[in-house]
Amino acid sequence: MTLLTIEDIKQGLDLEFLPLEPLLNGFRLIAGGVSESEIEIAENNIKEGFPNDFKDMLKKFNFGNLTIGPIAFCNNGNYLKELIELNISNSWWGEGFRPPNLLLIANSDPYGILLNVKNNNVLALDPELGWKSAKLIAKDFEKYIRGIGTIMLRRSNSDKTNLAKEVLIDVGSNDSAYWLNLSK
């Protein structure tokens, strides 16, 4: 199986959720992201540079009000402000300083979603186990978005276990539990 493209995911989410607006919003990839200068301000505040594919997605789409399946990026309208608060004010890592190169970029139940800004890996954090036990769920941010979009749009018409296994391989994950849970 091949992951859906970002454009396929955008179209699929539009088809599913556009008819439900304005009663239900925040479930589509909507064009109109942030500027390079806004990203630079966030990077300076957090004191971490962002990977290029993450920046490209932030510039292309509005993450300020976006949830894909159970993965909530932001619901207050300002994703970069949320990102700064999550990684400065909220001690998701526990005691001491925030682990270098790791940013909390989204939340779901029961996981926090981390981005390693050095190698671009996306990790699932179980808060009960701590950040040192976070599992690799995608090789990069774009593959992560394509993985969750593919699962959300194909899970009702596919064998869920096989879908999860195929996505797991395509995104470069080593954690089958995350993708199996997402496919249900």
Main-chain phi, psi angles of 162, to 5 degrees: -65, -40
Q: Give residue-wise pLDDT tens across range 24-37.
A: 999 999 999 999 99
For residues 158-181, give the mean pLDDT: 94
Domain positions in the chain are 6-183
Q: Give residue-wise pLDDT tens across range 50-93.
A: 999 999 999 999 999 999 999 999 999 999 999 999 999 889 99
Q: Which of the following CATH numbers is that of domain 6-183: 3.30.70.1290, 3.40.1580.10, 3.40.50.920, 3.40.960.10?
A: 3.40.1580.10
Its pTM stands at 0.95
The pLDDT of residue 1: 65
Write the DSSP assignment of 62-129 as a string of letters. --TTEEETTEEEESSS-HHHHHHHHHHTS-TT-SSSPPTTEEEEEE-SS-EEEEETTT--EEEE-TTT
**What is the length of the chain?**
184
Average pLDDT over all residues of the chain: 95
Asked if residue 29 lies in contact with residue 4, where contact means CB atoms within 8 angstroms, the answer is: no
The pLDDT of residue 90: 86
